[in-house]
Amino acid sequence: MKNLIDYHKRAFWSELSLQQYWKFLLAIFFLFATVGFVIDIINGGGFSLSELGVIVIATGALAVIWVYGFNNDYRWLIAGGIFLVLYFLWLWNTGSSAGQSAPVQSRLFIDGFGILAAIIIGFIFLVDFVLKEGIRHVEYRTEIGLAREMHETLVPAIDLQTEHYHIFGQSIPTTEVGGDIIDFHTEGDHIISYIGDISGHGVAAGVMMSMFKTAMHTGFRHRESLEEVLNQANGVLAALKKPTMFLTCTCLRMGPDRSTEFIVAGHLPIIHYNSANDVFAQLRTGHLPLSVNPDYTYKSEITRCDPGDLLILATDGLTDVMDDQEEEYGIDRLIEAIREVRTETPEQIFHTLLDSVRAHGKQFDDQTLLVIKIF
């Protein structure tokens, strides 16, 4: 246990930047530099101004040496001990309390040592607090770091090109662990791709997101239909998640004939750009979000795509962004932004749309976008 505490203590100090550590040492210096003035009070103001300056600097420097040695190299504690002995010998030979009555000198002595004791005790409690909270901080950062790695593994960026499709997408969380997901699965000459948005964000949403992906891939491995996969995932999530949590998603199954089977479960509509007629359509199926009702049945629909068409899937972290007048970005602005770059590559479309949203307002929710171009 002691080794674990020492490890976390070292990790806490090592995480501090040089600037942060210097600020900490300066705080220690100025805190204990006041001891020099206390010593002058105890001495009855018998030191000259130059001697007082030396005492103030020396007491601050001595505290810094001890703190640095305690946290980095214990040999500095030995140096600090030697410095302390020489320091008090110098004070003994330099100090003078002549000209003061015994009661005044006694009272100054009591007051001075009272101030000195209060500073030292306060510092001990402060360091104890910093170290304990520092250990908790390191443990928290370690757990969050692992969760972030899990999220990056489960929700990697997508850049997939086949004969008839080019898919590009990415999820940008607001915290280390997001609640959005994008994913794809190849099934012979078919491609299944989906986007999801778990209510809330953070670790709880990340856990539910991982369960959703596991349930989906379990269905894919058994070559179940899109409807069967989503119905099974709905039942699994409803049994395992918190009562207040749910998941919206859109799933696509794209075939070599450019037909697309889709299910929209409580999610934003699919934006379909029809290049032949230069028009946009919003595809919906009107289903409930997942895990709301374990017995709910999801049914798919089919649309036909042609070369040059686009399919855009997004989460509401994009459309709900507000400007300074609290006006949402909205799906209409998203469609207009797509129109401006509809002939570009999926990657270029992705970055242009993201820039457009960011120009409108600040991100406050996970933002996920999937761009599919048909060839």
More confident residue, 291 or 43: 291
More confident residue, 88 or 123: 123
Residue 97 pLDDT greater than 70, yes or no: no
pLDDT digits (tens, 9 = 90+) for 275-297: 999 999 999 998 999 999 999 99
Task: Name the amino acid, one letter, at 369.
Answer: L
Residues 253 and 367 in one domain: yes
Residues 119 and 224 in one domain: no
Partners of residue 372 on adjacent β-strands: 167, 311
Predicted pLDDT at 63: 80
Residues 285 and 352 in one domain: yes
Residues 188 and 138 in one domain: no
Q: How far apart are CA 65 and CA 63, in angstroms?
A: 5
Residues 9 and 103 in one domain: yes
Number of independent structural domains in the chain: 2
Lowest mean pLDDT among 130-144, 213-227, 277-291: 130-144
Q: What is the mean pLDDT of residues 7-19?
A: 64
Q: What is the mean pLDDT of residues 94-116?
A: 63
Partners of residue 190 on adjacent β-strands: 187
Predicted pLDDT at 210: 85
What CATH number does the domain containing 348 carry? 3.60.40.10
What DSSP letter does each residue of 146-205 carry, written as one string?
A: HHHHHHHHHS--EEEE-SSEEEEEEEE-SSSS-SEEEEEEEETTEEEEEEEEESS-SHHH
For residue 4, name the pLDDT band (cuts at 50, 70, 90): very low
Final residue before a domain boundary, out of 99, 119, 149: 149
Partners of residue 271 on adjacent β-strands: 282, 312
Nearest to 135 by CA among 44, 253, 3: 3
Residues 209 and 352 in one domain: yes
More confident residue, 116 or 283: 283
Element (H, E) at 223: none
More confident residue, 170 or 140: 170
Residue 229 pLDDT greater than 80, yes or no: yes
Predicted pLDDT at 79: 67
Residues 115 and 174 in one domain: no
Q: Chain-wide mean pLDDT for the chain?
A: 84
Residues 22 and 101 in one domain: yes
More confident residue, 247 or 205: 247
- Cα–Cα distances (Å) from 190 to 160, 163, 212, 230, 262, in that order, read 13, 11, 21, 17, 13
For residue 118, name the pLDDT band (cuts at 50, 70, 90): confident
Residues 110 and 231 in one domain: no
Final residue before a domain boundary, out of 107, 123, 149: 149
Lowest mean pLDDT among 3-17, 165-179, 230-244, 287-301: 3-17
Residues 143 and 196 in one domain: no
Residues 167 and 54 in one domain: no
Residues 89 and 231 in one domain: no
Final residue before a domain boundary, out of 149, 180, 212: 149
As a whole number of Å, the end-to-end CA separation of the chain is: 61
Neighbours of 186 (CB within 10 A): 12
Range of the domain at 208: 157-374
pTM: 0.68
